[in-house]
Structure 1
Amino acid sequence: MGGTEILLVNLLNHLAEKGCDVTLLLPNPSEKDVLLKRVSGKVPVKYLFPIELKGFKKLFYKNLLVFFPRLYTRLVGFEEKDYDLLVCFKDCFHSIMFSRMKLSKILWIQNQPFPRDYTSHSLKEWFGYSLNRFQIQRMNRSFDKFDQIICVSEACRDGYINIYHHGVQKRELRVLYNALDLSGIEKKAEEYIEKSDFAGLKFIIVIRLSYEKTVDRVIYAADKLRAEGYEFRVTILGDGMEFENLQKLIVDYKLENWITMLGRVDNPFPYMKSADWFLCPSSRESFALTLIESITLGTPVVTTKCGGPEDVVGQGKYGILTENSTDGVYTGMKKVMDDPSLLPYFLSKKEECLSRFNYKEWLAEVDSILGV
């Protein structure tokens, strides 16, 4: 349940309403398919595998995909003759499989390209890193075989050029900011939730709890701010592999009364609206659509310089931009608590900020790209 997935669901429904014969292809069914019920019944859903692969079988098929993509395609039974156009809506290892096909094909770069650290301390680590490096290189090279490449932010485009092509632009890369249909979120934000009677400043984080989101930065920053006498509360919405680690860290630092983790919430908008500031502590983000949602609900943003968010807040014109570090998160939180005038100032910038992310214009651009 991420911004890219929500955007895809909206696009699929739009294409279905326009009478397009569109199929959604996913790797496998999942218990976490919370968005699938929102997909139009006019859109058939197909899977490469009937169940989620695990263990050796998962490793086997991943390497088969990377090193023998044509054999992989035959084994999973994908027939390219059934389609006229292929859209890989998120750059991933399956881009390798699709890049070999003779279909017209379009790739969206939704992930923020970044340099990887392959420092190894043992032979086992060296072997694992060497294999991963080669897998990543194969994936990156496959991107250039797509007919069109769409980057969701200037940072994504710059990362593509710098990381994948060593600073040399070898082909046209189109930048198209993501945009969401925001028409219904004001109403959803009115849903009743139990609100805290805390009178101080309240921060909200809505994020997937994975390693690169570096939510632990907030815990370290909160501990430091508490020691300095600041009164505030942080609510974290989201689930992921880091959930238990973060929960333990909160307990270790005795911050249970300061930071609350609510897990995955189907409707995060009432929480976002009731907060004072939205906090994005990530080490990298391709775009971060939740920032736009928060600004729509009248909750301005404090974000690290981690890629796409710089474009969302206009390099600091429409929100607080901090260094990409724990100190940066600490500085951003401290700044808005020290200066109450920042809240009304950035609220006044709301309409100007949102005018750059018009959903109807985005759909029209995508229709043009797809030739619809």
Structure 2
Amino acid sequence: MKKRIVFFVNSLTGGGAEKILQTLLNRWEGSGWNISVYCLKKEDVPSGYPRNIAFRFLLGSLRQGDGFWTRLKIKAGNKLKLLVYRHCPPSVFYRMFIRGTYDVEAAFIEGYATRIASGSPNADSRKLAWVHIDLAANHWTLPAYRNAEEEKRAYRRFDTVVSVSPDVQESVVALAGPLRDARVLYNPIDVQAIKEKSAEFVPQRPEGKTLFCASGRLVPQKGFDRLVEACHRLAQAGFSFHLWILGEGPEGRKLEVLVRERGLQDRITFLGHQENPYPYMRAADWMVCSSRSEGHSTVISESLILGIPVVSTLCSGVREQLGDGEFGLIAGNDTQDLLRALEDILTERADRRDYGERALRGGSRVDLDGRMNALEGLFETNH
């Protein structure tokens, strides 16, 4: 009989964790496993996911053209589910709204998905949870729970809690206390696919200017506001450069207003969400990670694979990924240090060719098969 696996996620798009899930599921396509994915809100399934997955959505989404009764039904269903979610234990929500019995149940992202998965009543399933963020630096998950104690209990219900870096593991153990099994497993990244996609087209880039590129969800965690501020100071100092920002998110409008207020419309371009961001990354002179917190930045790993020089603020996972500066340029975790690093690049104190060679050395350490083998071992059902 096929092994039945269910993944719980908050969204199918928008960040590194979702990219990693795509890589994992595509590598497992044709494995004979029966895989389902539960997502919080109804959304279109991106083209990067395999088509033989059963996608299920907990909250309905209103679409243009829906009739009155359809809209009423969706709104009423969503309201009921949210009331149960907010006021009942996870076990009640799970029993009411999760269908099927599974051999392995995996919360692939912290927060809402982890709380829901922790409510499984199936004593025979293997339960896994992933943490992709430093919860000490960015405890964004607390609103997903009724209180802090409930979050601690949720993590203790899993057979294994997987962290994507040692710093992340330290943060989740500090938060939840002793766990049954806490492990660090690095994210699987499809090196060959990234290289192939990066060559699909060549975007037009500004001529005669150093081109920076930053990629990620437009949320405060990613620090795009301070990157814009650093660019403002660089422009005031007379430096010639351009910045591409790839991604979308709730801070998008605010960032666009900030760019206009700073008079940077001719220096910063918002390219939105790109199904294939790699040609834009490859066209850049430097990739910039301005995050206030991370777990183990997927964008940094992808940049190293493509041999693109990387400058990053210092947050969880960065020292490890950039080899304490051997494979990239590390700035302090504030606007002023980020500004100094960008000035070093623009004044050529940090040489692009040198850091490009460093990036390639760092990217050569990524071993997809080894990481996949380690992950597959987690899904064995013998406790």
TM-score category by the smaller chain? 0.7 to 0.9
**Residues 144-196 of structure 1: per-residue CA shift (max 9 Å, x gap):** 2100111001121122133444xxx5554211111311202223222334423
Equivalent residue for 1:13? 26
Letter in structure 2 aligned against 1:92: G
Structure-2 change in CA distance of 1:313 and 1:70 (3 Å): same
1:83 aligns with 2:106: no
Greater displacement, 209-218 / 186-195:
186-195
Question: Partners of 1:218 and 1:55 in 2: how far apart?
Answer: 39
- Whether the 8 Å CA contact 2:304–2:360 is kept in 1: the answer is no
3-state DSSP of counterpart to 2:213: strand
User: 1:196 aligned to 2:205?
Assistant: yes
**How big is the alpha-carbon RMSD for the aligned residues of Structure 1 and Structure 2?**
2.7
Residue identity matched to 2:211: K
Counterpart in the other structure of 2:38: 25
Match of 1:150 in 2: 162
1:38 pairs with one of 42, 48, 69: 48
Corresponding residue number in structure 1 for 2:335: 326
CA separation of 1:171 and 1:135: change in aligned 2, threshold 3 A: same
The answer on 1:47 being equivalent to 2:57 is yes
Corresponding letter in the other structure for 1:113: L
Cα distance in 1 for residues equivalent to 2:364 and 2:115: 36
Do the aligned partners of residues 321 and 131 (structure 1) sit closer, same or farther apart at CA in structure 2, a change above 3 Å counting? closer
% identity of equivalent residues: 23
Q: How far, CA to CA, are the matches of 2:139 and 2:91 in structure 1? A: 30
Instruction: Find the residue that maps to 2:244 and give its secondary structure.
Output: strand
Partners in 1 of 2:42 and 2:218 — Cα distance? 21
Q: Which runs of 4+ in 1 moved over 6 A?
A: 52-57, 130-133
What is the deviation of 1:275?
0.8
Q: Which residue of 2 aligns with 1:100?
A: 119
Alignment CA distance shift 1:89-1:116 (3 Å): closer
2:352 maps to 1:339 = no
Deviation for aligned residue 1:50: 4.1
Does the Cα contact within 8 Å between 2:59 and 2:78 map onto a contact in 1? Answer: no
Following the alignment from structure 1 to structure 2, what is the Cα–Cα distance between the partners of residues 144 and 255?
48
In structure 1, the gaps of 5 or more residues are 119-129
* Matches of 1:17 and 1:256, distance apart in 2: 47
Greater shift after overlay, 149-158 or 108-117? 108-117
Compute the displacement of 1:76 (Å). 1.1
Letter in 1 for 2:155: F
Question: For 1:37-65, what per-residue CA distance to the aligned partner results, in whole angstroms no more than 9, with x for missing partners?
Answer: 33223222223344479999767644633
The CA distance in 2 between the partners of 1:24 and 1:54, in whole Å, is 20
Q: Deviations over 1:13-53 (max 9, x none)?
A: 3223221122222223214x4x2x33223222223344479
Cα 1:141–1:54 change in 2 (3 A) is farther
**Per-residue CA shift, 1:314-339, capped at 9, x if unaligned?**
23221111111111221221122223
Q: Deviations over 1:334-359 (max 9, x none)?
A: 12222355322222223431233211
1:110-159 deviations in Å (ceiling 9; x for gaps): 222135799xxxxxxxxxxx977853542243112100111001121122
Q: 1:131 to 1:21 in 2, by over 3 A?
A: closer
**Are the counterparts in 2 of residues 22 and 44 from structure 1 also a CA contact under 8 Å?**
yes
Amino acid at match of 1:85: V
